[in-house]
Amino acid sequence: MAMPQTDLSLVETAGAAPQMAVRVRGVSKTYGSVEALRNLSLDFPRGQLTSLLGPSGCGKTTLLKIIAGLLEPTAGEVEVNGHPVTGPGPDRAFVFQDFALLPWATVLRNVAFGLELRGVARSEREAIAEKYIAKVGLSGFEKSYPHELSGGMRQRVGLARALAVDAEVLLMDEPFSAVDEQTRRKFQEDLLELVAQERKTFIFVTHSIEEAVYVSDQIAILLPRPSRVSEIIRPEGLRTKDVANIRRDSEYLDIVDRIWASLRSYVE
């Protein structure tokens, strides 16, 4: 299940098409005197969900922003489908922690907004937006404004917007951190369904060990000082199980325990 960072045999043998949607190679990032990432390499298999899990401040958001092209690494490079990242691009969409919705626009306009920026005609972009509004469970709220929605619903609007632009890589920065536990569990179930249906590459930052084990095909554990990938875990057996039973599955419980054993010494 666990494998050294350089052993990609499990994912490279799966087929002839390029298996890695995103490759991060030797990336370092320093902010002034703060070394956020040092020589970090990590591959993200196409069509799968990879979680970045680690203690606060270990550089998860920094790595996500570098992949998004919002932040330049101090050293190293990121490739998306074999092309070096030099800035933001239509192949990647960011679902922000703090929603980043337009407060003056309806749900429909918010979801269609990325398409509007790309010059897609109104009728076409609204039809696409409707489809994804339904997919994230918000049908009937098209005409609502963000302040009329709960935090969880706003989060779904952000997700629908990212899906509507049809980016191949979805970057999610703790998307469920601001919602209550029940809503979070429902989101996690929905996310598993989306990963299966949409065949996109999801890169998912979370603080929660349980959440990472529940939703991920691959979990990269990041440790600080210096920031690095310490371990890659693939909970493969869980992905074929009924979502209703995962949380009491012995493989799930074992992986959660193992990750906690790795991380506990870093929690102050």
Ligand X SMILES: Nc1ncnc2c1ncn2[C@@H]1O[C@H](COP(=O)(O)OP(=O)(O)OP(=O)(O)O)[C@@H](O)[C@H]1O
Binding interface with ligand X (CB under 6 A): 31, 34, 36, 54, 56-62, 207
What is the rounded distance in angstroms from the CA atom of residue 128 to the CA atom of residue 141? 15
Instruction: Work out the burial of residue 139: count CB atoms within 10 Å of its CB; fewer than 13 is exposed, 13-18 middle, 19 or more buried.
Output: exposed
CB of 73 to ligand X, least distance (A): 12
Q: Which is nearer to ligand X, 36 or 149 (CB)?
A: 36
CB of 65 to ligand X, least distance (A): 8
Sign (positive/negative) of CA torsion 243, 246, 252, 257? positive
Q: Which is nearer to ligand X, 31 or 260 (CB)?
A: 31
Q: Which is nearer to ligand X, 165 or 233 (CB)?
A: 233
CB of 178 to ligand X, least distance (A): 13
CB of 62 to ligand X, least distance (A): 3
Strand partners, 186: none
Q: Which is nearer to ligand X, 67 or 129 (CB)?
A: 67
CA torsion 204-44-157-89 (nearest 10°) is: 130
Q: Which is nearer to ligand X, 74 or 183 (CB)?
A: 74
Q: How is residue 220 written in tokens?
A: 């990269």
What is the residue type of 217?
A: D
What is the rounded distance in angstroms from the CA atom of residue 242 to the CA atom of residue 222? 28
Residue 79, helix vs strand vs coil: strand
CB of 267 to ligand X, least distance (A): 12
CB of 268 to ligand X, least distance (A): 12
CB of 122 to ligand X, least distance (A): 37
Q: How is residue 185 written in tokens?
A: 């569990």
CA torsion 40-41-45-49 (nearest 10°) is: -10
Q: Which is nearer to ligand X, 32 or 82 (CB)?
A: 32
Give the helix, strand, coil percentages of the chain, each rounded to 5. Answer: 40, 25, 35
- Count the Cβ atoms, other than its own, within 10 Å of residue 61: 16
Q: Which is nearer to ligand X, 23 or 60 (CB)?
A: 60
